[in-house]
Amino acid sequence: MPTWAYIFLIMAGMLFSLKLLYVVAAGEALPVTGGAPFVATSRDMIQTFLNAVSMNRWDILVDLGCGDARVPRAARRHANQRTR
């Protein structure tokens, strides 16, 4: 068998092992965390985003996986301040 085939098989085995380790670790962490962890977006990051995007009161903002709806509420306040 050529050398490149051995290298490929070793690399594929290592990648498979890492993926298997990830699946096992995620399975162990799921009962502890109860699902995906909640990470709040900082106010500075939200303000930077809103200043960079030109939105008015009638534009639609879709925030997938918004958690506590911090971004849509800030966007509503930001749009209302711009129209005044």
Smallest CA-to-CA distance from 79 within 47, 45, 55 is with 55
What are the tens digits of pLDDT across the range 46-61? 999 989 988 777 888 8
The number of domains in the chain is 2
Do residue 49 and residue 67 come from a single domain? yes
Q: How confident is the model at residue 83 (pLDDT cuts 50, 70, 90)?
A: low
Do residue 22 and residue 50 come from a single domain? no
**Tokens coding 33:** 């965390």
Q: Which domain holds residue 11?
A: 1-35
Do residue 52 and residue 28 come from a single domain? no
Do residue 47 and residue 61 come from a single domain? yes
Do residue 28 and residue 55 come from a single domain? no
More confident residue, 60 or 12: 12
What are the tens digits of pLDDT across the range 17-40? 999 999 999 888 888 877 777 788
What pTM does this model have?
0.52
Do residue 43 and residue 82 come from a single domain? yes
Provide the 8-state DSSP code for 42. P
